[in-house]
Amino acid sequence: LNRIKASGLKLRFCTNETQATREKFVKKLQGMGFDISVAEVTAPAPAACRLLRERSLRPHLLVHNDLVPEFAEIDKANPNCVVIGDAAENFTYANLNEAFRVLIGMEKPVLISLGRGRYYKETDGLKLDVGAYMKALEYACDVQAEVVGKPAKTFFESALAEMGVPAQQAIMIGDDIVNDVGGAQRCGMRALQVRTGKYRSVHPLHP
């Protein structure tokens, strides 16, 4: 990263991190020695907030407690949509059922998901990601979720717009063949998969 920055190339950190605010996420990386600022991070929560304001939507949040501050300025009274993120321990039956009841009670349900990843890797192993729970609500409510994180085209386009770089002149580097590589390629970017993190030589779902 230091070499990329020293070269003068433009850089954005595109993350589907939805267990913490950008500030907390950046502070963690800075503590590891990375030269990174909040302005360099493209994340799902701020993108969702822009969408909510544009469409006058009031969300019922099914997200991680540490992410709630990102929605501080958003009206959440009398919800007319559900926003789901990687809620981790908040993915209880009761919380999922509450989100289900909000959606099923709408004439035209609106489900916004901060990503659609199947799983991710933590120090203690692989963990189910938001996509699995998003699919459960889609199935139960017969609704199609609107994804605002990777691999959504609009997410990558937002990062490109922030840098002022056309897709053809950008490359995405990540460990996820579907959300990083696939999403970037559908946006017209080149992509490079690193063999670290969640990388598998044989993908369990795409052998």
pLDDT at 205: 55
Span 30-70, pLDDT tens digits: 999 999 999 999 999 988 998 999 999 999 999 999 999 99
The candidate with the shortest Cα–Cα distance to 47, out of 77, 12, 78, is: 12
The candidate with the shortest Cα–Cα distance to 72, out of 112, 37, 11, 23, is: 23
8 Å CB contact between 105 and 134: no
> Hey, what domains does the chain have and what are their CATH numbers?
44-147 (3.40.50.1000), 167-206 (no CATH)
- What does the pLDDT average to over 166-192? 94
Predicted confidence band at 195 (pLDDT cuts at 50, 70, 90)? confident
> Would the pLDDT of 200 be above 90?
no
Span 84-128, pLDDT tens digits: 999 999 999 999 999 999 999 999 999 999 999 899 888 888 999
Sequence-distant (≥ 6) Cβ neighbours of residue 32 within 8 angstroms? none
pLDDT at 120: 86
Q: Which residues of 186-201 are buried (b: 16+ CB within 10 A; e: fewer)?
A: ebebebebeeeebeee
pLDDT at 149: 87
